[in-house]
Amino acid sequence: MPKGKKAKGKKVAPAPAVMKKQEAKKVVNPLFEKRPKNFGIGQDIQPKRDLTRFVKWPRYIRLQRQRAILYKRLKSSSCH
């Protein structure tokens, strides 16, 4: 390595000058009104539904339910 050259580190960017910029006021469109949400009776949020019918059940539960239904059909035997 030549003696005259030294390894240079990365230059650190100078800190930004502390200046407060004047922000332009946002134009408010009169067509859009702010209305508070009303969750009272007859408004938005519905009561919690029972969604057990739509759950993806584990395989063994589906099998045991199907088996029970098939056994009931065998017992009733609507043919005779």
End-to-end Cα distance, the chain: 103
The residue extents of the domains of the chain are: 52-80
Note the pTM of the prediction, 2 decimals.
Answer: 0.39
Q: What is the pLDDT of residue 19?
A: 65
> Which amino acid, 40?
G
pLDDT tens string, the chain, 80 residues long: the values are 566 666 677 787 777 776 666 666 788 888 988 888 888 778 878 888 899 999 999 999 999 999 999 999 999 876 66
Residue 44, C-beta contacts closer than 8 angstroms, at least 6 positions apart: 37, 38
Query: CA distances (Å), 67 to each of 14, 40, 56, 75, 76, in order?
Result: 75, 45, 17, 12, 14
